[in-house]
Amino acid sequence: MTRVDLLIMIIAVAALPLLYLQLWGPNYRGTEVNIIVADQKPQRHSLLRDQTLAIKGKLGDSIITINNGKAAFIESPCRNKQCIHSGWHSRNGDTTACLPNRITLSVVGDGIARFDSVTF
Amino acid sequence: MTTTIASEREDHIIAWFAALAIAIHVLESAIPSPIPGIKIGLANVVTIVVLVNFGWRTAAWVSLLRVLIGSLVIGSFLSPTFVLSLSGACASLCVIGIAYALARQHLSVMGYSVLAAVAHILTQFWVAYLLFIPHDALFHLLPILVTVAIITGIVNGSLALAIQKRLKLLIYEP
C-alpha cells in the first residue's frame, strides 16, 4: 500500500459524515405533506403549521396530525393500524399509507418526483 | 479457403482472467445479499489485479466481458440489473483509467479498489435514480450504499494486495 492509497481511503472515509449530514440531516426535511384519498383530488398541507386533520376514507375518518414538521396517522378505523405504527414522517420522500381506508400520505420537498418507481 | 484468426498473448490473458472473473461473478450471485443492491463484488479483485499487472486495456476487456457474459449466464442480460452493472463497470474503468494514467507509480491495488468502488456505487445510484426509481426517498439510501462501497472497496483492495504479494513471490523467486 502506498501513501496515495492511504490518502484516497482517508478522503473517502472523511467524506462519509458529510454525506450523512447532507442526506439524513435537517436540510432534507420535507416542506409539505401530500394526502391522497382514493378517487379524490390530492390535498396538500404545510408541515410548518401544526394541525390535526380528519381525513374521510373508505372506512371512516383517519386522524392525521402535523406537529413540528412531522406528520403521522394517529387514529384510523382500519384493522392492523400499520399506518399508525409507521410513525412520524418528516423527510422528503417519506411515504405511508392506510390501504384499508384508501389513504396515502407522503412528505414532499422542493423537488417534484414524476414517478414513484418504474418496474420491469 | 480458410481464415485463421491469430490470437496473441494479450488475448489469452484476457480470456483466462475474464473466465476467472465470470466464475467468481456467478458464484457470488448465489450468495444472498442482506440488503438489495449490496454486494461484495469479488470479481472486481480480478479487474484490479489485471490492471496493475497487464495495464488498463486488458483490465477493461476483462471487466466488460465479465459483465456481459456474467449477465448471460445468470440470466440478467439487458435487465435493470445488467444496466446498473454495466454502468458501474464503465464508471469504475473510467476512474481507474484516469488514476492509472496520472499516478501509476504512486498507487497500489488498494487505491484503485477504493476509487473503483466509490465510482461504481455513485454511478449506479445515479442511473438507478434517473432510469428506474426517480423518487426522492432513494437519497436516504445513498449514505448507506456509499459506506458499504468503501468497506467493500477496502476488503477487495486487501484481497488484491494479498494476491499481488503471492504473484510477486511466484514471479521473482527462482
d(CA B37, CA B57): 28
- For residue B103, list chain A residues with Cβ-Cβ distance below 8 A: 4
Question: In CATH, what class is A31-108?
Answer: mainly beta
Q: Where are the domains of chain A?
A: 1-28, 31-108
* B-chain residue closest to A114, CA distance: B134
Domains of chain B, earliest start first: 9-172 (1.10.1760.20)
Question: If you write DSSP's letter for every residue of B78-102 in order, what string do you get?
Answer: TSHHHHHHHHHHHHHHHHHHHHHHH
CB neighbour burial string for A3-20, b if at least 16 within 10 angstroms, e if fewer: ebbeebbeebeeeeeebe
Is the pLDDT at B173 greater than 70? The verdict is no
A60-103 pLDDT per residue, tens:
999 999 998 899 999 999 998 999 999 999 887 788 999 999 99
Give the Cα separation of A119 and B71 in Å (integer): 19
State the smallest CA–CA distance between residue A8 and chain B in angstroms.
6
Q: Do A19 and B146 make contact, defined as CB atoms within 8 angstroms?
A: yes
Cα(B46)–Cα(B113) distance, integer angstroms: 10
The interface predicted TM-score (ipTM) is 0.80
Residue A102: left if φ>0, alpha if ψ -120 to 50, beta else—which one? left
Q: What is the pTM of this model?
A: 0.77
Q: Counting Cβ atoms within 10 Å, is residue A34 exposed (0-12), middle (13-18) or buried (19+)?
A: middle
Mean pLDDT for chain A overall:
86
How far does the CA of residue A52 sit from the closest CA of chain B (Å)? 25
Query: pLDDT tens digit string along B39-78?
Result: 888 999 999 999 999 999 999 999 999 999 999 999 999 9
